[in-house]
Amino acid sequence: MKYRLLLFFMTLSAGLFAQQTFVPDDAFEQFLINEGYDTVLDDYVLTDNIKDVTFLPLNNKGIEDLTGLEDFSSLTSLQILGNPLTSVDISVNTTLQYLTAGNSQLITLNVSNLTELIRINLANSSITTLDVSTNEKLEILSLEDNTELVDLNINGAVNLETLRNVNNDKLETINLSTNTKLKMFFAYYCEKLDNLDFANNTRITDIIFNEMTSLSNVSIKNGRNNYYLESLRNPNLRCVEVSDADYVNSNWSRTKITGALRFDEYLVFSNDCGGSSTQEITEIPDSNFETYLESIGAGNGVTGDNKVSTSAIQALTTLDVSGQSITNLSGIEEFTALTNLNCSTNELTSLDVSTLVNLTDLDCSYNDIGELSIIKNLELVNLNCSANQIAELNTLSNSKLENLNCEVNAIEYLDLVNNSRLTKLSCNDNALVGLNIKNGNNSRISNENFSVFANPDLTCIQVDDENYSTTSWFQTDMQTNFNENCTPVNDDCSFTIPIVLGQDTPGSTISVSGAATNPNCAQNGTTVFDVWYSFTAPESGSMNITISAGTLISKIALYETCTDTTPLNCDEGNLSVDNLNPGQEYYLQVWLELSSRFQSKSESGGFVLKAEDTSSVLSTEDVVSDIDFSIYPNPTSELIKIKNSNSNSIQSIVVFNSNGKVCLKEKNIENMQTEVSLRKLPAGLYFIRVEDEFKNFIHRKIIKQ
């Protein structure tokens, strides 16, 4: 009996005095209960239950106090992003390897004792200082939206491979001199960062810095020439120092594989930028233009020398040179901060606004301009180009456009399907044969803001709702009607729609008529209902043309002239062609089909067409976007494995040979990982382009052994 009592009291004592960890935050403890580490919400948890835990996913749990975290002695991965924490004590969690933290209230984060850290992701915090100088094993540091960060010390992070800075508005300096293993550097919207030096970063593969308003000095004189560099919308950066400027200028492409720019147009590469990246003088050949700039204090103080101060004109956001008898606006490309430009009522025959990427308002009316390209002016809201000689106007990339006045020109076709914010349209007195304003938002335009008079060949305007437009818009010619599906103006090759290389061009085969003869890749036994486009071959003579139409089979035929009966090439979904004559116009026939063997005619529907200059796939650098694809092994003898570490699925894969010709393509993969067999391809250098469901992509070299 005494033995049994003794055993009972010993057991009771062990239960009462087992070591417990104090967890005062109810949200923290409730998480531990939900995960099975605790049973009662009483501010305590058995230490034995948590000492072996290696991973705590605590993002957005409403935790205000992490007391108790110190007893998670085996913790290797901690996620505490989005909790209302002002400080975090992780000083004793010395086994930690992966840390994700941040919220707008967090003002301190001390990681000095965490010598095992491999990755830190800090986002949206209010910390002012971050010191990772003792974290020698750190490989990845991602800092996003830490708008109060002033001091960043990475000097001792000798194994750092990836550094990402986004929206760190107060950070003025980043010292990369000790980070000799750095491979990837990304910086966006860091307004005060003015200098970057990669002299010691000899392993660098990717350098991207965009939207850096103060950045004026960049040196990449590290002995390397093959790495991916992107520098866009950095108005004060004019020159980048490199190790071999001749090599860079001869071998680097200024555009990505998509055709989009990699560098600002005005950026130059030099072995020596003279200690300053800012050009002092800009040439202004038109004397009236230069005189006006001198009069507003934007010159160099010497009227008549056709020179102005570069720094002065780069500071201008608004410029009104209307009625100055200017015949040549050369030099306007340096006014990179401009948001408003009025150059109306002059004597201009041409106008290049491609570098004015911040432009929201452009008035170039009452000139003699024959061509106007606004495809790079993505911020454009108001455009008045009336009273010129413009024959083509492409607004597909101007999704923010609200007001368009293009009257008294020679425009034949206007496609406004991407301009859903449009509230005012005036295109009187043109040569319109087609107008498509089916943008899903026609109700924004009232009768007084819609005018299409004096276009005698315009019989049909394509709109969202025929009844709405008929009863709401009256300022049209008698022969002009509204319809939700007008016959496309490019129904045959006698009127082709020009396409811009690298730009998505939406189209439709609804209401089209049949082709005179079927192309050789058309499905047997069908009548082809087609539309036509044209493009000018680039200098490389090499093109990749793609078309997508959802579940329908999309086909393309390429012709040298409209009178040819046999196409140069004809295929489904994708055409890869080379040996085109640079500067020559070529013609594309487009139609859609079902996958039925017994259909009698091709289908009607919408599609998106894109033609790209494939010469950029021959670039010696890898091209990547801000995503995390793994492509391995490389080199390979047969299989390439592709894995997306993000949550997005892989959508398509295209493999090019060293001549830019498509060797292999796979579409609609819709999986986070896949394999590609190169077994049928000969040994050599290839380029692979992988795209996810959100159009993010990566482009890399691969070697088939």
Please name the amino acid found at residue 527: T
Q: Kindly report the CATH number assigned to the domain that includes residue 644.
A: 2.60.40.3080
The reply to whether 547 and 604 lie within a common domain is yes
The reply to whether 686 and 634 lie within a common domain is yes
The reply to whether 227 and 337 lie within a common domain is no
> Would you say residue 448 lies in a domain?
no
The reply to whether 575 and 665 lie within a common domain is no
The reply to whether 286 and 163 lie within a common domain is no
> Would you say residue 492 lies in a domain?
no
The reply to whether 270 and 175 lie within a common domain is yes
> Would you say residue 119 lies in a domain?
no
The reply to whether 235 and 264 lie within a common domain is yes
Q: Kindly report the CATH number assigned to the domain that includes residue 289.
A: 3.80.10.10
How many separate domains does the chain show? Answer: 4
In this predicted structure, the answer to whether residue 333 has a pLDDT above a threshold of 70 is: yes
- What is the edge-to-edge ordering of all strands in the sheet holding 413-415? 413-415, 434-436, 460-462, 481-483
- Summarised one tens digit per residue, pLDDT across range 79-94 is 999 999 998 889 999 9
Torsion, CA 371, CA 375, CA 380, CA 386, rounded to 10: 20
> What domain range is 592 assigned to?
497-614
Strands 574-577 and 543-548: antiparallel
- Contact criterion met (CB below 8 Å) for 545 and 611: yes
> Would you say residue 44 lies in a domain?
no
Calpha distance 567→438 (Å, rounded): 32
Last residue of a domain, one of 262, 278, 294: 278
Q: Looking at the DSSP assignment, which residues form a beta bridge with residue 163?
A: 141, 185
Strands 228-232 and 206-210: parallel
Calpha distance 445→425 (Å, rounded): 8
* pLDDT recorded at residue 5: 43
Calpha distance 490→500 (Å, rounded): 16
Residue 299 CA: distances (Å) to CA of 197, 232, 292: 32, 26, 9
Calpha distance 67→557 (Å, rounded): 68
The reply to whether 333 and 376 lie within a common domain is yes
Calpha distance 617→699 (Å, rounded): 8
The reply to whether 200 and 170 lie within a common domain is yes
The reply to whether 579 and 665 lie within a common domain is no
> Would you say residue 524 lies in a domain?
yes
Q: Is the peptide bond before 567 cis (omega within 30 degrees of 0)?
A: no
> Global pTM?
0.54
* Residue position matching structure tokens 């509230």: 423
The reply to whether 203 and 317 lie within a common domain is no
CA 455 vs. chain centroid, Å, equals: 38
Residue 58 CA: distances (Å) to CA of 27, 112, 540: 10, 22, 53
Read off the DSSP letter of residue 6: H
> Would you say residue 562 lies in a domain?
yes
* pLDDT recorded at residue 598: 59
Average of per-residue pLDDT across 535-560: 87
Please name the amino acid found at residue 228: Y
Last residue of a domain, one of 390, 415, 442: 390
The reply to whether 206 and 239 lie within a common domain is yes
> Would you say residue 64 lies in a domain?
no
Q: What is the CA radius of gyration of the chain?
A: 31
Q: How many Cβ atoms are within 10 Å of 553's Cβ, its own excluded?
A: 17
* Residue position matching structure tokens 């493009």: 535
* pLDDT recorded at residue 106: 92
Q: Looking at the DSSP assignment, which residues form a beta bridge with residue 153?
A: 131
Last residue of a domain, one of 337, 371, 390: 390
Q: Looking at the DSSP assignment, which residues form a beta bridge with residue 71?
A: none
Lowest mean pLDDT among 355-359, 420-424, 661-665: 661-665
For the chain, how many helices (H) and strands (E)?
Answer: 7, 49
> Would you say residue 447 lies in a domain?
no
- Contact criterion met (CB below 8 Å) for 502 and 397: no
In this predicted structure, the answer to whether residue 278 has a pLDDT above a threshold of 60 is: no
Confidence bin at 695 (pLDDT 50/70/90): low
